[in-house]
Structure 1
């Protein structure tokens, strides 16, 4: 039976790339917390393209996702060099996205769908490039997760694969939101883009963090006395439950 990995075991023997991305993820979360405090203290609105909500949510979400991907990647079979490159590109893209969104919030201008000035247009396009890097790295990691990994319990492999597939869906939703908003901008409907470009945020959010929830469930199950077969069944139940929650969000029933 596969022995559970304790917190100490998870942090032992980390590569330089893993330690760096864990640290960067923590800094991004700290940035999100700081901007939440700024939002509360300033009395700023939670809504709108100029709100400090954006650096708050981007810092928290990207920081948590970077930490999660670093951990989840440890269960995926790949070479050290490839792991380093994937984590490096993903971490750099996360920092880029949060930094640009944060900068625009402090400048008092929208970060997305904003082509008002040459500089703002460069920022918007750079955000798109960063998003493309995120998509490529996560899709690559998803494909790699379906390779044989004998050192990883089947229940964890299942959880990782399902979580990454959900993250792929979240990225697809994110791309759809950006495309929808930019089409409106090109049609001259800038304000409508700001108002409706993020209409798929609930679907984006619920699918994004399955990559954390499902592997954590599989990891916690390793501390039980259950057989691997039963742990796999529980992970399948977790996947079904998460899928049901996502469907309810998509249908607007939550």
Structure 2
């Protein structure tokens, strides 16, 4: 039986993650309004696109991970601690990117000044923390079968597996960009990430989309076998989309 105090801490961690995620999404939407008013380019290393997309993406991912990990068979205290660290890391990432957008300088791979270098390195370290935390959750999903309605275990495992593709592509973008920056090819570093962005973006949100599909189907009148088949088809379609994005990255990567 779960200790009431542990359950209360876990509920507070979930609520904190949900509220923080909503605030990050709101931050992204606010910057979409700023872009509409201020204008400027949408693409490139200096644009309002970054606080918009990162705010919305990190917010949705935080909410999704807090929800989806409730189906994992992990210790309540461990999950609570990991979620709180994950939430703090998401805030740091979005805050750093937003700060640099308002300063009108690149957020990633920017070593122009000591302050810019500090921000860039903080974002890189934060990205490493994200990789570790999400990998721990992904491994947990495969070590013990997740709970939930028909199709949810498959959706959770597939979502985390595809999320690992997003983490790998993100790490590849940072690694290549850092190498180019360190060798004096700053402009090339900013453009080197473009081929991998579709793969990174598509694979990032499987951990939300696929479990959401399983949850919605659990509210339908269909039997478990039918729901499982639909989830499996959804996983196949999503995997195909990731494969197309991966092929595009291979064909356009220089």
TM-score (norm 1): 0.91
Q: Give the aligned length.
A: 241
The change in CA–CA distance for 1:151 and 1:213 in structure 2 (over 3 A counts) is closer
- Of the three residues 43, 53, 58, the one matched with 2:54 is 58
Residue 114 of structure 1 aligns to a residue whose secondary structure is coil
Following the alignment from structure 1 to structure 2, what is the Cα–Cα distance between the partners of residues 142 and 194?
30
- Of the three residues 189, 214, 217, the one matched with 2:210 is 214
RMSD: 1.6
Quote how far apart the aligned CAs of 1:154 are.
Answer: 4.7
TM-score (norm 2): 0.91
Following the alignment from structure 1 to structure 2, what is the Cα–Cα distance between the partners of residues 93 and 144?
20
- Of the three residues 18, 24, 45, the one matched with 1:22 is 18
Residue-by-residue CA offset, 1:202-227 (whole Å, 9 max, x unaligned): 00001011111110111111112322
Residue-by-residue CA offset, 1:128-174 (whole Å, 9 max, x unaligned): 11101111111100111124357423510110010011111101100
Written as runs of structure 1 = structure 2, the 5 A alignment for 1:120-199 is 120-149=116-145, 151-199=147-195
Residue-by-residue CA offset, 1:2-61 (whole Å, 9 max, x unaligned): xxxxxxxxxxx9700000010000000000001111111111110111101111111010
- Unaligned segments of structure 2, at least 5 residues: 1-8
Following the alignment from structure 1 to structure 2, what is the Cα–Cα distance between the partners of residues 168 and 152?
22
Q: Which residue of 2 aligns with 1:7?
A: none
8 Å Cα contact 1:26/1:63 also seen in 2: yes
**Larger helix percent:** 2
The change in CA–CA distance for 1:152 and 1:47 in structure 2 (over 3 A counts) is same
- Unaligned segments of structure 1, at least 5 residues: 1-12
Q: Which residue of 2 aligns with 1:101?
A: 97
